[in-house]
Chains A and B, each alone.
Chain A
Amino acid sequence: MTVDLYQNPLRFGAAYDELSADGVTPRPHWKHLMDSLRAIGPEELERRWERAERRIRENGITYNIYSDPMGANRPWRIDIVPLLIPAEEWRYIEAGIIQRARLLSLILEDLYGPQELVAEGRFPAALLYANPAFLRPLVGVRVPAHSYLHMLAVDLARSRDGQWWVLADRTQAPSGSGYALENRTIVSDVLPDLFRTSNVLRLASFFRAQREALTSLAEGDNPRIVLLTPGPYNETYFEHSYIAKYLGFTLVEGADLTIRDRHVYLKTVDGLEQVDVILRRVDDSFCDPLELRGESLLGVPGLVDAIVAGNVKVANALGSGLIETAAIMPFLPGLSTHLLGEKLKLPSVATWWCGQSYALDWVLDHLDSVVVKPAFPSRGMEPVFGAELPQTEKSKFAEQLRARPHEYVAQEQIALSTAPVWDDGCLNSRSVVLRTYVLNTGREWIAIPGGLVRVAEAEGSVVSMQRGGHSKDAWVLWDGHVDTFSMLRPRSEPVELRRVSRVVPSSVADNVFWLGRYAERAENIARILRSMIPRVRRSEEAELACLVRLHGCMESRHSKLPKPKNRRPTSLELEQEMISMLTDARRPDSLACTLEEVSRVGGNVRERLSADMMFLIGRLRHSIQVEQGTQFLEYPTMLTACLELLSAFSGMERENINRGSGWLFLSIGRRLERAIYLTRQLREITTPLAEQDWSLLECLLEVADSSMTYRTRYYTTLQPLAVLDVLMADETNPRSLDFQLSHLLELYEKIPRYLSDDLQAMRDALALLRGFDLRELKYPLPGAATATNGSDGLSRLDRFLRELERLLPSWSNNLSSRYFSHARTLPISIGQ
């Protein structure tokens, strides 16, 4: 039977092919998958693949590439064909990586303890002393938690003869398990029947075990566990928030934590809350600027001391990066025999640490067949492929090696095995590396069944996510019963009912507050633009002036219009300004940029928002993307679509979020923002309008979505005072100023530790607003003498609004400095 969908590897036979031994017949464990793919057919597969891609974009699954300026928030790339691993083979891998985890944690225990391995000459002293990842302040500290390693990642590759080899160990903050989980969700969704009928080992129980393991690290019940991330610019930030959400931990950055009395605390809007366990994704030397790297802004000053005092557990333990170097690999077989009394089950790829003189000699003699890497990766040297080195460079490079041999390690290059990937309508083969994970539960070590498969970008190239490769799921095809436990359905366990909501770290409150403000800002800009665009072209000179005033209500600081005092803009200029306000993402005041901000601050708290909300935020960003040749008059339709999404968002905000502190800050942000815009717009009316400007009133009603209300009450008579009544005084209109202030007041009273001065100021403002009796005001009618008696009242109202324009931002600033800014304050290093 021929594998019709499948393209043979170009250099078939140069490497092990996972799918087929002869390039024609699939291996037995691939047969079911190939049959299914054929049954689905290429067109349907392509459709499903596109659906998966769309879902990744819309769910905001990203991977940041450091070196690429456009690399931030790059969509995660996934292949829909899983790598299949038969049960027998998995048992072999599993036993090998678990043994490795046991061995590595014993090595760490010794190196951070009695250092007998060094004294006995079993572990080279230079590998310890010259290693910048050896954190001396952690030596002699009581063995943290269950072991130094809470989780270990092992990268595996298969050579031509079918043997699996260890390429690398990730011992300090292994990444990728969250992506593996997300890959599983997507692939099992794309190929549901195949997944159901393949008896695949599930992942959920591994993550439950991880949660239990971390919980058991703390002494008391109900410990507070946080996931420490370097922040949104880290390459795997998406994963940090994904895992935090999945496991129910609080996602924090270093600045969210503080040390008091040798304990770690989380800064929350309710005050300081003690932290018991830190799952860290920050590299160890960056975790404490006081005792480790002084220049680090990612850590918590005093964390090491809190660990020494035994008041917090950190997983993986600080210092575990020490054995991430490949240079230890040549010593593992001997150490395994010595420490475990067992032969090393899973071999490491052939490795020479140049600190041993015979290894150095061998490497210099065989430079062409090895890749030379820094023994201590923090030194930042790129791998050197000996064979690619020009003859002239070789002797210079050899000199470099001889001068500081202990800083280099050389490894044999393995021809990586290839696996099928779905690529443009057919299956192609690409090199793959399998990243596996082992977890210490405190009682035993367990492995994720499968793991994260990383795929080379092009045939024969290096496998690296940083270099733009993509990933696939790994299915362990089990031969026994498969546990279909899901994270949300623990069986037969008594449940203790709880009503406590999660704490809200200050930085989260900061982000949701701005999420509320930006979402409302986007809505306001969209509404104003939608009102203006159809009018620009049909406007006469006089009406154009109204539109310029309406434009002024957006307070756009980067306006491209001529200054009003110079001359009036032409309708073409106004039109271009509209387009720029809508689409120019480089303009901070544009709709495009505001939606980017919604997406950014939303992304910062993604672990707090429901999948549906994140999905909406993802769609919002793309809702105003303009294609080539879009006509100016098509923009209002686009804006309507955008406004629909924004309304859906505010609907979810009201209906789908628990009324905790987070929601309070979100809603306060929204009320403040709307009040700010509304006040600005009302001032257009309280500055007496000339008759030709009255059409502005119509626009303002439209922007505030209050035309209907107005018409029901006043039919077609357009009267400034009546408009003021609807937009300012009517407490039943959710878009009136009265409504914003009274709701702001109500929300503000509920936040913990509110500022009583500001609360009072809000009360006063509302009372003042209600004190204005619009019936007593006399609006200067067009044609009438300008300075009638009643205009006094009008100017008082204008003064009040002006004062409010000053007060509203000050409340926002005060809120910021009371609740958020300390989360943004970074410690300053001082020294003699």
Chain B
Amino acid sequence: MIYRIVHRTTYKYKNPVSVGNHVACLTPRSLPHHRLTRSELHIQPTPATRTERVDYFGNLLCFFTVQEPHKELVVEARSEVTMNGLSTPWPQESPAWEEIAGALPNDQSPAGLDAYQFGFESPRIRVRPEFASYALQSFTPGRPMPEALLDLTARIHRDFRFDSKVTNVRTPTEEVFRKRRGVCQDFAHLQIACLRSVNIAARYVSGYLRTYPPAGQPRLVGADASHAWVSAYCPGIGWLDMDPTNNVVPSDGHVTLAWGRDYGDVSPLRGLILGGGAHTLKVAVDMEPLDF
């Protein structure tokens, strides 16, 4: 299976922007279960400078600066990803979650050290007692880790309502927890906060999700959206992905763009502009499966 993904972001400004400095995190990662076979980033107006850099987490970032006055910025990422089996298979059997959580601080292996950094608070995710007590209802004593993870995922899916009106990118996780509403980004943050509160390393995954049109209707171009889910670390097994928004274990419908400690590390496009005044933002994502 091959996906052709087009992710188009359009900023329209009321007044001309004289300088805009931006970072894009829009190139999917190559992983054992999916390979990036093509990737292009088109920017209008043409930036004066443009450089690529791999960040601390291994994501490919593109830095660019538009130095000519402009009232519209269009960034279009076109990628082709070849799916190649499933992500890390979930094990049938596993030790109790406490054992796993307790082993990580002493794991000096490169993978263990790398995972350990996702166990702490990060700029957008605080660790709180209320998250811990919510998590502990799933993480009961002696429960195998995968089972507890799936239970927590299911509970978040059940207890929280998808609602794109109540939160924005800056809403703190505590508020999402109180309101019991939010979008995929909020649920991912919340689940990570719960996991870190019981000392499990968890990271934020940004990516795409294939959507299916209602039966009998054609696929709508551009109706897809960027998506976010969670990955938790199990020493000896690896990273296990889960999607609390849909209560599923990601498989061949999920394409990973990037991961980090929270949304702030991997936001698809951010920047600072001089001038501009009020602005509007439009994002269109299209994920088209190609069959050969």
Contact = CB atoms under 8 A, between A and B. Distances in A.
B51 A830 contact: no
A543 interface: no
A308 B270 contact: no
A302 B53 CA distance: 13
B279 interface: yes
Nearest to B112: A125
Interface string A795-832: 00000000000000000000000000010010111111
A832 B269 contact: yes
Nearest to A404: B127
Interface residues of B, number: 45
A354 B119 CA distance: 17
Interface stretch (A130-138, A192-200, A320-328, A629-637): A130-138
Contacts of B276: 828
Interface string A271-299: 00000000000000000011101100000
B147 interface: no
B279 A291 contact: no
B10 to A, nearest CB: 11
Contact of B281 (A308, A827, A828, A832): A832
B272 A828 contact: yes
B247 interface: no
Contact of A130 (B121, B268, B269, B272): B121
Contact of B108 (A121, A130, A139, A827): A121
Contacts of B11: 830
A126 interface: yes
A118 B271 CA distance: 33
Contacts of B123: 132, 293
B42 to A, nearest CB: 17
Nearest to B11: A830
A830 B273 contact: yes
A126 B116 contact: yes
A39 to B, nearest CB: 61
Contacts of A291: 23
Given A118-B113, A126-B105, A305-B51, A832 B268 contact: yes
Contacts of A403: 129
Interface string B45-62: 000110101011100000
Contacts of B56: 136-137, 139
Interface in B3-25: 9, 11, 18-19, 21-23
Contact of B273 (A130, A260, A305, A827): A827
A832 B283 contact: yes
A19 to B, nearest CB: 47
A129 B270 contact: no
Contacts of A683: none
B126 to A, nearest CB: 10
B121 A832 contact: no
Given A125-B116, A829-B270, A290 B281 contact: no
A156 B121 CA distance: 32
Given A404-B127, A832-B281, A259 B267 contact: no
A137 B261 CA distance: 13
Contact of A119 (B18, B55, B113, B267): B113
Contacts of B279: 830
Contacts of A289: 272
Nearest to A305: B63
B19 A258 contact: yes
A753 to B, nearest CB: 16
Contact of A290 (B21, B49, B105): B21
Given A126-B120, A129-B116, A830-B279, A290 B108 contact: no
A563 B116 CA distance: 72
A262 interface: yes
Contact of B271 (A126, A261, A290): A290
Nearest to B116: A125
Interface in B274-290: 274-276, 279, 281, 283
A309 interface: yes
Given A294-B264, A831-B270, A832-B267, A260 B169 contact: no
A379 to B, nearest CB: 9
A128 B114 CA distance: 11
A359 to B, nearest CB: 14
A261 B48 contact: yes
A262 B283 contact: no
A827 B274 contact: yes
B274 A825 contact: yes
A494 B219 CA distance: 78
A130 B281 CA distance: 34
Contacts of A290: 21-23, 270-272
B82 interface: no
A825 B15 CA distance: 14
A639 B19 CA distance: 49
The interface centre, meaning the residue of A129, A259, A294, A822 with most chain B CB atoms within 10 A of its CB, is A129
Contacts of A82: none
B276 to A, nearest CB: 6
Contacts of B121: 130
B218 interface: no
Contacts of A830: 11, 270-273, 279, 281
A301 interface: yes
Interface in A96-135: 118-119, 121, 125-126, 128-130, 132
A785 B279 CA distance: 63
Contacts of A128: 117
B270 A119 contact: no
B148 to A, nearest CB: 20
Contacts of A302: 21, 63, 65
What 8 pairs across the A-B complex have the smallest Cβ distances?
A: A129-B117, A136-B56, A831-B270, A301-B272, A827-B272, A130-B120, A301-B21, A302-B21
Given A261-B65, A309-B51, 10 more contacts: A119-B108, A125-B113, A258-B19, A260-B65, A261-B48, A825-B275, A827-B274, A829-B271, A830-B272, A830-B279
